[in-house]
Structure 1
């Protein structure tokens, strides 16, 4: 799991990175909100740890921006030295999923991080489990896709891309993450390969709200594939 931590105090940043790293997580540290936002445009993280007091912005504004841009994912844990109930409620109301009071305690930080990750990415499905979402059924063993009970013909690469999308519903997926997961390498910024494959899947699988899903392109970042109500309308 990849975690991004934004903390302007170098000692605190090192401590967070050390605690998470020793627990087996990959943690990247950023000293400012602006640095984190730049990273989020190029990378995907499974969880954010956000200090509430930053030199260039507030954790409140940062969390608000992430939620407006990325939706409900990734989960966000905010760290604060403020104990007033109003401050904590404000942080949770704007979109943070949990909070932790400073000073940082190793066991508590790990407990809260693991709890958020379990809630956000439940490990209930095995790699070979059949996936049913909306009007779709994907069988990883047979490597088949059915829409409304009818089989859909896709290429091997299109199948891998579709399987990756259905296994990561609700997450904001950067182009780099898609490239590494489906192609096993970085394709390059000038390539239209991903866009072409996504366009083909939209058509072949009819990825529209009336079938229970929505595929959205996020400018300069990547894609979000999520469940949708048939009556939502709009464009997918």
Structure 2
């Protein structure tokens, strides 16, 4: 499974450490928060693949956080962590938008199994050969083509393309893309991402006539979008003034 970015929210520092270490032993990256507002603010500039949220926080309840995120269209899996184990509490957490529910004291092996199951459902392993419109790539040979014509990509360009195409329509933060492609190397300049984005936009021809648009999202990162046929036509059609 690919490296995942997982946010962990708990005001109990001992519990926060336990949950974060569990995430890290699975080979993923944990991002720690001690209150709900801190998480919500971080999500305006960062991208997370899964959230572990304590129900009782000093500012917002876990349920409030889940409701807010779902109302804003966030679709990543969310796991509630709490001492509450009554049926009414479980039902409330799930109906408000949580995907799973873990009761404290958390058992490490059980938490790992639940996280793994959620991640597998949300981010299924891709087949070796993938196709999106005119584009095709092979994960084994690391070959990429458009309309059957091979496209020469550098290793990092290939990884960046795969990351974007596997999450079409999702806004991916700069930090998320940097960690997904370059790992945890803090010495890589952030402008390196912009350079690679420009390169793959040019090499793949990510333009409306090919059915895709790769655009920057101000203050956040980048998004690759698949365009509907009508939208492609509208984008390509000359304006009335130009036609006249």
Mapping of residues 14-33 of structure 1, within 5 Å = 14-33=17-36
**Aligned position for 1:63:** 66
Are 1:43 and 1:177, in contact at CA under 8 Å, matched by a contact in 2? yes
Q: What are the Cα deviations for residues 169-194 of structure 1, in whole angstroms up to 9, with x where unaligned?
A: 465421123245557764347x9646
Larger radius of gyration: 2
Mapping of residues 204-215 of structure 1, within 5 Å = 204-206=205-207, 211=211
Computed over aligned residues only, the root mean square deviation of the Cα atoms, in angstroms, reads 3.8
1:53 aligns with 2:56: yes
Q: CA deviation at 1:5?
A: 0.8
Aligned residues: 226
Gaps of 5+ in 2: 236-244
Mapping of residues 1-12 of structure 1, within 5 Å = 1-12=4-15
**Aligned position for 1:167:** 166
Q: What are the Cα deviations for residues 22-43 of structure 1, in whole angstroms up to 9, with x where unaligned?
A: 4444323211012222333443
Q: CA deviation at 1:216?
A: 6.2
Distance in 2, matches of 1:17 and 1:161, equals 27
Greater CA drift, 155-164 or 28-37: 155-164
**Aligned position for 1:44:** 47
Gaps of 5+ in 1: none
Q: CA deviation at 1:17?
A: 2.5
Q: CA deviation at 1:197?
A: 5.2
Q: CA deviation at 1:131?
A: 1.3
Are 1:136 and 1:145, in contact at CA under 8 Å, matched by a contact in 2? yes
TM-score (norm 1): 0.72
- Label 1:161 to 1:92 Cα distance change in 2 as closer, same or farther (>3 A): same
Greater CA drift, 110-119 or 222-231: 222-231
Are 1:207 and 1:215, in contact at CA under 8 Å, matched by a contact in 2? no
Distance in 2, matches of 1:153 and 1:47, equals 33
